[in-house]
Structure 1
Amino acid sequence: MRTRVCDRGEAGVREASSWEYRSYPPVGPERTNRTRELATFLRSRRERLDPRDFDLPRRRQSRRTPGLRREEVAELAGVSTDYVVRLEQARGLRPSADVVEALAGALRLAPNERAYLFDLAQQRPRTADSPAATASPSLAGLVAELSPMPAMLLNHRFDILAWNDDMAALLVDFGALPPAQRNLVWLCLLHPQVRAFYLDRESVVRDGIAHLRTAWAAHPEDRALNELIAEFRTRDADFARLWAEPDVTVNGRGRKVMRHPDVGEITLNFEALTPAHDPDQWLLIFRPATDGDRSALEKLKTPTPAARSGGRDETP
């Protein structure tokens, strides 16, 4: 089935596929929030693009705003300008998977941004299993065996599911914390010792927000995740400010400079690995950057390499 539509503001009539206009009514506040986030994300990705990077026809009108025009994105994606306008105005559309794919290509989204867009549009296939709330014995054992490298296992909310003693010695005694505080983003934002630990705290918070934003799009029904984000937005001004920026750039590896109260400044390289059987978990491993950093870690080392495990109490 083909439908002829007239794009407001464009000369003439053009054809558009009926799948372009497949939309679904909003359902409750959660759907409304996702629709608004979809609108904000699309607009921000459009505005960051440089028109000179695209083979677009020259237009006489001067550009008064950054990035591509809506009609240019529509042309690149093969949809109507009116449809792009309605998406960016959060007018209740739920684009089909084909449209999401076309928009992702037109906006030149990175793989993680593309996945985020599919999640916002509720078009990415889901696995039948719910995200894990506890560490499996095999992964907990792996965390222990990574000693003397500090390591921990996180779920999609950044709850700390398992850790080895090296990680506890480096950061904080996780076992002494209430389960609700055993969350890496919570610690970076609200724990006095950990807040002062990272020299570049904002980059750590940005990484955490990118992870949480991606998880929020993938698991909108997760009440614990929604409550966690609401708490962070209320209690930490930096989180509230950075959450308003629709960034989902996740750094899976890099270097962190830390200031430890016992050994002073220490530089560590980190890797965040995802188990193939559970993409909602992250294995975070730290390695010393230099021999001096290795010596500093050894000073913090505890006698046994046992892995501890714990999770967020999700009892209603």
Structure 2
Amino acid sequence: MTGDAHPNELGEFLKARRAELAPRTVGLPDTHGRRVPGLRREEVALLASISTDYYTRLEQGRVQPSASVLATLAHVLHLSDHQRDHLFKLVGRPSARHRRPATQRPHPQLRRLLDDLTASPGVVIGRRMDILAWNALAVALFTDFAKVPEGRLNCVRILFTDPAMRALHADWRAVARDCVSLLRTEAAKDPGDPQLISLVGELSVEDSDFGQWWGSRRAPLRRPGVRRFHHPLVGELVLDWDTLVCGSDPDQKLVVWTAEPGTPSYDGLRALASRAIGRPGGLTTGQAR
């Protein structure tokens, strides 16, 4: 059952809302000859990265949607805060947007380690793969994290939404799939996390690959590995990466990229370090606001 007042109240709400939306509002062509007003079921399903069959059963009241599916549909259907609250209420779930978890700050020990890393890029990753802190070489290798708008400093979001990240990673698809799998592991720790639900909904709408990979059950990579980069300033880099979990806060990890001494990649990192020293601020660490 999807509600107490009416067994198919959720379906009626979804049908009414999609009928109100013009295709051009969601970026679809507004062709002539439509037999129904607004969006078709298959169009909503496509935008939400779910199957048409699943969405049809959802409107028919035959399935119970997860919080992440509800968040995605709220995004796809351009729901107001009031409408979003109503959507969650119809399936007996609290509105995720009212829950505000405490802001996570980088652990002082990890900050000190970052301060000492002058020859290797490093970042501190927190819950839902948010970026909590970084050093100058991480900025030189990836992007200027300090310029990312507040609330959007997230590894997966940057990887999927910043075109420069696709050009930087030699095997972007493999890296992106691993990140989606790791994000799913984070989601399992706290399925009701409103920020994570919102992140999944946003990326499912914006990127079809994310939606497809999120629905898969691929196990995340749990061992150190090698990443290959096409850096615009120093060329090809082959870097090993490893993760150090904070002993006093397991929700925080320090990820470090290193190069084998005597290799072109090692020389490339040294060249990036030299450039970082020459920039305003020098080799300093930064953290999320």
* Counterpart selection for 1:187 from 137, 144, 158: 158
User: Match for 1:259: what amino acid?
Assistant: H
Match of 2:284 in 1: 306
* Counterpart selection for 1:207 from 178, 185, 188: 178
Match of 1:293 in 2: 265
Match of 1:247 in 2: 218
The separation in 1 between residues aligned to 2:203 and 2:2, in whole angstroms, is: 26
1:262 aligns with 2:240: no
Instruction: Report the 3-state secondary structure (helix = DSSP H, G, I; strand = E; otherwise coil) of the residue aligned with 1:157.
Output: helix
Identity percentage of aligned residues: 29
- TM-score scaled by structure 1? 0.55
Match of 2:26 in 1: none
User: Match for 2:265: what amino acid?
Assistant: D
The separation in 1 between residues aligned to 2:3 and 2:223, in whole angstroms, is: 34
1:174 aligns with 2:125: no
Q: Are the counterparts in 2 of residues 255 and 269 from structure 1 also a CA contact under 8 Å?
A: yes
The separation in 2 between residues aligned to 1:276 and 1:138, in whole angstroms, is: 10
Match of 2:74 in 1: none
Cα distance per residue 1:99-154 (max 9 Å; x no partner) = xxxxxxxxxxxxxxxxxxxxxxxxxxxxxxx7762212332121121221100001
User: Match for 2:272: what amino acid?
Assistant: L
Match of 1:48 in 2: none
Q: Are the counterparts in 1 of residues 237 and 268 from structure 2 also a CA contact under 8 Å?
A: yes
- TM-score scaled by structure 2? 0.60
Structure with larger RCO (C-alpha < 8 A, sep 6+)? 2
User: Match for 1:197: what amino acid?
Assistant: L
Q: Are the counterparts in 1 of residues 226 and 239 from structure 2 also a CA contact under 8 Å?
A: yes
Instruction: Report the 3-state secondary structure (helix = DSSP H, G, I; strand = E; otherwise coil) of the residue aligned with 2:195.
Output: helix
Match of 2:209 in 1: 238
- The runs of at least 4 consecutive aligned structure 1 residues that moved more than 4 Å come to 25-28
Further displaced range: 164-173 or 240-249? 240-249
Equivalent runs, 1:23-42 vs 2, <5 Å: none
Match of 2:114 in 1: 143
Q: Are the counterparts in 1 of residues 130 and 155 from structure 2 also a CA contact under 8 Å?
A: yes
User: Match for 1:292: what amino acid?
Assistant: P
The separation in 2 between residues aligned to 1:284 and 1:26, in whole angstroms, is: 43
The separation in 2 between residues aligned to 1:286 and 1:257, in whole angstroms, is: 11
Is there any run of 5+ residues in structure 2 with no aligned partner, and where? 5-62, 65-100
1:155 aligns with 2:126: yes
The separation in 2 between residues aligned to 1:300 and 1:170, in whole angstroms, is: 7
Q: Closer, same or farther in 2 for the Cα pair 1:221/1:269, shift >3 Å?
A: same
Q: Closer, same or farther in 2 for the Cα pair 1:299/1:215, shift >3 Å?
A: same
What is the RMSD of the two structures over their aligned residues, measured on CA atoms? 2.6
User: Match for 2:223: what amino acid?
Assistant: G
The Cα of 1:180 is off from its aligned counterpart by: 3.0
* Counterpart selection for 1:225 from 192, 196, 199: 196
The separation in 1 between residues aligned to 2:256 and 2:166, in whole angstroms, is: 20
Instruction: Report the 3-state secondary structure (helix = DSSP H, G, I; strand = E; otherwise coil) of the residue aligned with 2:105.
Output: coil
Q: Closer, same or farther in 2 for the Cα pair 1:145/1:131, shift >3 Å?
A: farther
The Cα of 1:216 is off from its aligned counterpart by: 0.8
User: Match for 1:231: what amino acid?
Assistant: E
User: Match for 2:121: what amino acid?
Assistant: P
Q: Closer, same or farther in 2 for the Cα pair 1:289/1:185, shift >3 Å?
A: farther
The Cα of 1:251 is off from its aligned counterpart by: 3.1
Q: Closer, same or farther in 2 for the Cα pair 1:27/1:133, shift >3 Å?
A: farther
Q: Closer, same or farther in 2 for the Cα pair 1:27/1:256, shift >3 Å?
A: farther
| Count of aligned positions | 190
* Counterpart selection for 1:165 from 116, 136, 139: 136
